[in-house]
Structure 1
């Protein structure tokens, strides 16, 4: 049916190592020349152009002037972000990933943090140092930091950042004795953001990385002498199949209906074996079957839910924060508007639409596309660590923070495609691409019929077999995208962000300015047209 597009006590068995592989993405970080189509679009909007011609936005001088203009007597002293992080030593997993990298950059640029230990998957110290340089220190993301320190940048980083060879999927996190002892003695905060985020990955690999590994990190955390907090990065979609407003509450072991037994899932994998050549296909199907049977849409969401449960179950007296972002996309503001690493959840849809491949889409146009820029997630992560680190209280339950936009500042699927239509009709990704407004369907067969008909119509009357195959391939790809993101296209829950709202109220004006956590500050049309899509073109597509 065509949908109107109008707006409107856990016992853990002995750990067996699965073949988790290596979850890192090598990047070739170089500045790309401005895309001619971006220039064509930007000429109509000087503000868009300014975002991509300065290394920092706003310039550091403007930030200083604005901060100086703030009234120091703003009603309260805030939560003490700068005071908390002064001299604190942080251990970060997943620092080469999108969120981990932005958190590290923000800590270095905006706080007087002590040492930051980065667990890097590498064969030896030299290789770890190479990854640190290539994937983090030489990234455009650190342009503002380099501008701030100038010639002393190298010395500053050397004093602050320590690359640690390790692997979350190995015993003792794959670290050597010297690293283990140094971190145990020094670390005050652990930020665990490493994860496998592929929705349809093998079940054994997702369990190894998103369930067993977090437990391994928490066991290590319990041996750290000065540890004040453990921040675990999860996902809002651990509760994705519930309806209505979802409050910021921890998951109960076993799930809402008691069906999920983590130990049983791991035992199932330990017992599972396949005599087929295609083990990957076997474990992917097994994971999808288990997810659907237990109440999740994807194996990834199931594995992240189990990860939350086991970390909470074994934490003992370790203060635990669980941060649940929705769909993380490019930076909204600092340090570089539009900066992004790789294509995220919504981006394959953006790119396909920009190439004229999506005349129709399988989704409810009125459902919020729950996007959150990565710099807001990083700011919230840093702010909540400071808030709870300053309380010195061990809560009986972990504190949950939803980082989402679906209630406070929703942007619907209709809105998103409308903004993309306005952008791509002026600057398509392929010259001559057929960019039309999207027709929404809630019946997959009707959607598929319309999609294939529209794609074929663009080729005209004289089509040969090769063209037919191309049309079918494009349509099949779009259908697969829609199926993969069906959970987001018909999302039933809305994620309550009361804890983030309270955090905002407790922050001083200066903290609110320097560590923006308020999703209501986002103008979604501007974000899509002037920040996200140009950033996606610059940092990903035109690489």
Structure 2
């Protein structure tokens, strides 16, 4: 026994393992034979292994699982899918299939928390291991799951064993899975007993649920909506009002969630708990004691549950739990420090030890009205501190680094445990620097270098966001001075029948941390990541929405391919093409005057473009006033066509030809004036462009005959064209380079982003759209003008 653990035993005046709870008298399969165990949470991490353990080791026990319908998938189908997992392979093969295993051994009850349906009258044990396990759920969600759901389940349990005359037909055993951290911000030894506090679960639940209505109302005030709308406009103004409105509403919902999380955290800490998860779980325990005052009640409090030591196989784990994101981030060089006290105990316990303890508890018979508490943890007799945890994980990654890319394996940070305040200062400084860099990049001209810098910054920002979230969540756990006494649990383990020890042991001294972490846990959590990294390397940066058009497809005539012009199909912009058209007809002095006037107006035009691209285009096209439209078209055909075609990307032409070969309708949608698209007519089936209005003499008025086709107008045109021509937009394609084209790209099933601006590149990354670089082909300098004969 470790010195700290011995000291706490002496403090309590107890010998190790001399618990006060009931013990086992026989084999578990016999004690639980013929019993019906109603279980919640079987689709979760712990619940899945409990179901496996019952089906494997307790042949005479019937699990009745409460599972909710998910969308259109009934509960029964979800359980069948569960039984098809690797963990159930032997059981499934022995039964002849998942359906057969279900029919032979498992009852399914379709329902949810807190909407619990009637439970079977022949139940003997109710095992409640469902619950919100996130440390920072919204406050209303935490209460709805951990207190309201618990009360509803227990009330239905009591109703199931109560006859028509109001008399109880049997005394059920309710086993509640809580968490060791319901102790909150206490320090020192934590006994296996009810926590003393005078917080009213009912009052806190009502207040927690009321927060949703309050925060929703706050989110809809004019002040808050104005702030959110302006934030959305800064990003999406060019794309259009509907895009801005959708982003405003997204931001409002995110704000509501954030405030509900903050409300839960602050209320928990104001009453002495670390977070709303542990707070509502503690109140859930109080609900259990209140509703279960006339039945048998056991409460199991696991610490930090991680991968299995032995069963169903070493390293078994479902999903990422508490430690995995931190382990993986450290192995990839993304966790420079951690705000933990090096000598604080990190109380990890393998999942199979928790499951074995829970099953053993189900087989006990506690006294009616006297709840028994069990800590499932390792810190009492096999403590692991943060310094040793760091050392074992660092040694593992030094021996087994993640395979790096071009830069090689990531450099592993060296932790010095400077304290939470120092880590917070480092994080704040890094966040500030990233914010300033982002502002600079938003003002930089578009280029491959700018995109590369933005990608690097986005990776850094993502890492900082990860650090901020996890350091905020785990900061208190890293400073914890809790020591969970496990006398009841150890005494229960020692009462196991000798023939049950191999399958059901849960004594935390059975393993050493170096072996568990380096040979079992780390390989288990890194293997799927290594496998996915290898797959990505083999595939390379394969585009996700840039489809292979060489394969025959059904009804290709129902597919269109829409292309933006400037920056996508060809290099150039409306100011540049205006000067191409205008300057050749001017003398030297007039050319200088015209260029000077355009340069003078550029800042005004750029500000207009940031607000509304349609306004910007109208301002430029005013300068065509007085031009002869027919002469302009002739000049484009005879003089400008070579310059325009020279600037068309050969990659774009190649892709256009692939679409035509596939039988797709090719569409050019541009805000450029129609005369400038004339050289491109052979490439497209349909061209949508800006039309210059003319007077009776055929001279341009400086106005357009209709609104320019930009932003959401392009998406509306595509939907209208698709409806008229029976086009399937879900199978169609679109190509564009600017954030203003986000609505058009979002309209089709296969959007492709071409040499984008930073805002569109980020949108593409978030939505997993393909990003391609199409090279320009211009041989002449951009300032080279077409000649006018």
Q: TM-score, normalised by structure 2?
A: 0.53
Q: Deviations over 1:399-419 (max 9, x none)?
A: 000011111101111111111
Change (3 A) 1:224 1:474: same
From 273, 277, 301, give the equivalent of 1:324.
301
Query: In structure 1, how many angstroms separate the alpha carbons of the residues matched to 2:528 and 2:107?
Result: 26
**Alpha-carbon distance in structure 2 between the residues aligned to 1:240 and 1:499:** 21
- Contact (CA 8 Å) 1:146, 1:153: kept in 2 or not? yes
Higher RCO (CA 8 Å, separation ≥ 6 residues)? 1
Q: Which has the larger displacement, 311-320 or 468-477?
A: 468-477
Write the deviation string for residues 138-183 of structure 1: whole angstroms up to 9, x where unpaired. 1112234346x2647753442111222101121xx0x3xxxx3xx4
Match of 2:487 in 1: 498
User: 1:116·1:160 contact (CA, 8 Å) conserved in 2?
Assistant: yes
Alpha-carbon separation, structure 1, partners of 2:377 and 2:309: 14
Residue 119 in 1 paired to residue 60 in 2? no
Alpha-carbon distance in structure 1 between the residues aligned to 2:75 and 2:424:
48
1:251 and 2:195 are equivalent in the alignment: yes
Q: Match for residue 383 of structure 1?
A: 360
**2:39 match:** 92
Distance 2:89 2:471 in 1: 36
- Which residue matches 1:46? none
In the other structure, the counterpart of 2:200 is: 261
SS of 2:153's partner is helix
Alignment partner of 2:377 out of 399, 404, 409:
404
Q: Is the 8 A contact 2:143 2:209 kept in 1?
A: no
Alpha-carbon distance in structure 2 between the residues aligned to 1:319 and 1:408: 29
Q: Does the CA contact (< 8 Å) of 1:417 and 1:437 recur in 2?
A: no
TM-score between both structures, scaled by the size of structure 1: 0.76
1:535 paired residue number = 524
Identify if the C-alpha distance between structure 1 residues 102 and 541 changes in structure 2 by more than 3 Å, giving closer, same or farther: farther
Match 1:129 to one of 54, 65, 76: 76
Larger radius of gyration: 2
Q: CA deviation at 1:251?
A: 2.8
Matches within 5 A, 1:181-330: 183-225=119-161, 226-252=170-196, 255=197, 258=198, 260-272=199-211, 273-274=214-215, 275=217, 276=219, 277=252, 278-330=255-307
Structure 1 residues 381, 270: CA separation in 2 closer, same or farther (over 3 Å shift)?
closer
1:357 maps to what in 2?
A: 334
Q: 1:446 to 1:85 in 2, by over 3 A?
A: closer
Which residue of 1 is the match for residue 540 of structure 2? none
Q: Equivalent residue for 1:334?
A: 311
Count of matched residue pairs: 442
Give 1:107's match in structure 2, choosing from 36, 40, 54: 54
Partner of 2:569: none
Q: Distance in 2 between matches of 1:211 and 1:374?
A: 24
1:429 has 2:402 as partner: yes
8 A contact 1:326–1:403 mirrored in 2: yes
Deviation at 1:465, TM superposition (A): 6.9
Structure 1, 433-442 or 265-274: larger mean CA deviation: 265-274
Partner of 1:169: 114
Whole-Å separation in 2 of the counterparts to 1:299 and 1:93 = 21
Cα deviations by residue, 1:16-46 (Å, 9 ceiling, x for unpaired): xxxxxxxxxxxxxxxxxxxxxxxxxxxxxxx
CA RMSD in angstroms comes to 2.7
Structure 2: 5+ residue stretches without partners? 5-22, 162-169, 220-251, 434-448, 533-789
